[in-house]
Amino acid sequence: MEFLAKEVSGKKWTPGVKLGRAVGITMDGLLRHQMTEYETLLLHGVDREEARKRVQPRVEAMLGIWKTCVSS
């Protein structure tokens, strides 16, 4: 959790962004870049929008598991 707190607090957020939204955006990006083939897709010429579309189901699944663990 400390790592996530540092990631969230280290970003410049638009005024008024709520903490939950900031955490969600940060988690989404971390999971996409570190836990999926997103960057490999980009390196192989897949455009950013298509690469995000391809990995988003896996990101959503991981976020769902995390949310379940946190709320328990």
Inter-residue contact 48 to 42 (CB < 8 Å): yes
Per the structure, the count of domains in the chain is 1
What pLDDT, in 10s, does the model give residues 16-57? Answer: 999 989 988 999 999 999 999 999 999 999 999 999 999 999
Report if residue 9 sits inside a domain. no
Question: 67 pLDDT band (50/70/90 cuts)?
Answer: confident
Residue keyed to tokens 């005024």: 15
Q: Report the chain's terminal Cα–Cα distance, integer Å.
A: 15
Chain-centroid distance, C-alpha 68:
16
Report if residue 45 sits inside a domain. yes
What range defines the domain where residue 28 resides?
17-71
How many whole angstroms separate alpha carbon 17 and alpha carbon 52?
A: 23
